[in-house]
Amino acid sequence: VSFAMALTHVMEGVLTTSRSMTLEEELRAFQEYRKAAGSEHFSCLPSRAFQSLDEYLEYLRGNMQLATFDVELTGGAQFRRLMSEVEVFLRFSEISAQTKKRDVIQARGVSMGNLTWRDVVVKLLSTEAHAPLQRRVQYVGERIKWFFELQKEAVLDFMDSLRGSPSASMYSPLYP
């Protein structure tokens, strides 16, 4: 079985007990990975309202009631849970600056053409919201990257478990 075929099987839900983790374990491990890598250009917390990872985890467990929060998962099920978590994370995207009348007037500027209020709002959002949203998107990108790095180990474990076992023929590339 090739690595690509094995990855497909792991993502489709081959039952493996190794490398599976709960969402809490996953987020704590991701935070440790981020600290070890020296990656400080984004926050692991979606908002300043959360003072710690524990508060964010409690929010995910209590308020969002993610169904698989305490379930140890790997592969595709873990990826679906990851996508739910990063969706919640991105929902906290907001403009932290207060927009003042002066800012709106300055954004409107002196225009020789036809400038609508929609154009003014887009201009204000592009200057105020770009950096915070970019940091959140970096978090999402790092989480997905880290997820697939973890899946590499799960795939290799799966491939090792097939070697010399009767179930190896079930995953043969000769069978469609």
Question: pLDDT digits over 160-173, tens only?
Answer: 888 887 777 677 66
CA–CA separation, 115 and 102 (whole Å): 17
Cα-based distances in Å from 39 to 12, 30, 54: 31, 11, 20
pLDDT digits (tens, 9 = 90+) for 5-14: 888 888 887 7
Written as six digits, the tokens of 73 are 């998962």
pTM over 0.85: no
Residue 37 CA to residue 1 CA, distance in Å, equals 32
**Residue 17 predicted with pLDDT over 60:** no
CA angle 158, 161, 166 (to 5 degrees): 120
Q: How far apart are CA 31 and CA 96, in angstroms?
A: 24
